[in-house]
Amino acid sequence: MQNIYEVLFSQYAGYTTLQIWLEFIAVVLGIASVVYSKNNSILLYPTGLASTIIYIYLLLDWELYGDLLINLYYFYMSVYGWILWGKRYENSNDSLKITIISYKDSIACALIFLFSIIFVSGIYIWLNRFDKWWAYADIFMTGLLFVGTWLLAKRKLENWLFLIAGDIIAIPLFYLKGYTLTSILNLFLTIIAIYGYVAWKRTLHVKKSIL
């Protein structure tokens, strides 16, 4: 048991108590956000924003500027999604409307993925991060999560598929970067996202049956 603990958490030896607690709080808020997302609740955005803000602070403190810029995108998408979901709550009685992606959405997803690959690759070249073998997996994971986050804001069922794939890649990736708690978070996120996909698909099926 001691050996397992050392393997998982020895990398925190150089962290301050504040950094460890902040990452723990960000992890808890991140789990809460995905649970709210599974339940199709707008509360996913305030909890997700709080988690992202903490991560932005930590990444700035750790001088991990590539991940910092990526989290700034998540911050923007959380604000965008919160506004979009809020309008639907105000203007429609069907506040839980879930749809599937259209051809136009597919084109947008491809463009977002391509942009993210180019954008993050540029950051990694600038920061000389391609000396790490996992940089390529990191870029691919980021593309998946960028698309998934955008689809979530649009309430598209397929958002879960992109988030699940991204979270699975993130589990070993964040451990290698030194974020054991965040790696564990992504394990929980993967499980919750699977349940989220099933729950949203069931909701969509029920609505189609009513129609």
Show the tokens assigned to 201: 């698909």
Q: Provide the CB-side half-sphere exposure for 135 (13 A, CA).
A: 15
Q: Specify the pLDDT at position 69.
A: 78
Per-position pLDDT tens, the chain of length 211: 556 555 556 667 678 889 989 999 999 999 999 999 988 889 999 999 999 999 999 988 877 777 787 889 889 999 999 998 887 666 654 545 889 999 999 999 999 999 999 998 998 888 888 887 888 998 999 999 999 999 999 999 999 999 999 999 999 998 888 888 888 889 999 999 999 999 999 988 766 555 5
The Cα-based distances of 121 to 26, 72, 118, 128, 172 in angstroms read 26, 16, 5, 10, 20
Q: Specify the pLDDT at position 95.
A: 47
Q: Specify the pLDDT at position 36.
A: 93
Q: How many whole angstroms separate alpha carbon 49 and alpha carbon 55?
A: 10
Matching residue, tokens 């991140």: 30
User: Taking a C-beta distance cutoff of 8 angstroms, is the pair 164, 194 a contact?
Assistant: yes
User: Taking a C-beta distance cutoff of 8 angstroms, is the pair 29, 55 a contact?
Assistant: no
Residue 91 burial by CB count (10 A; 0-12/13-18/19+): exposed, middle or buried?
A: exposed
The Cα-based distances of 164 to 136, 159, 172 in angstroms read 18, 9, 14
Left, alpha or beta for 74 (phi > 0: left; psi -120 to 50: alpha)? alpha
Name, in order, each residue with C-beta under 8 angstroms of 69's C-beta and a sequence gap of 6 or more. 123
Closest CA to 38 of 190, 174, 211, 182: 190
In this prediction the pTM is: 0.85
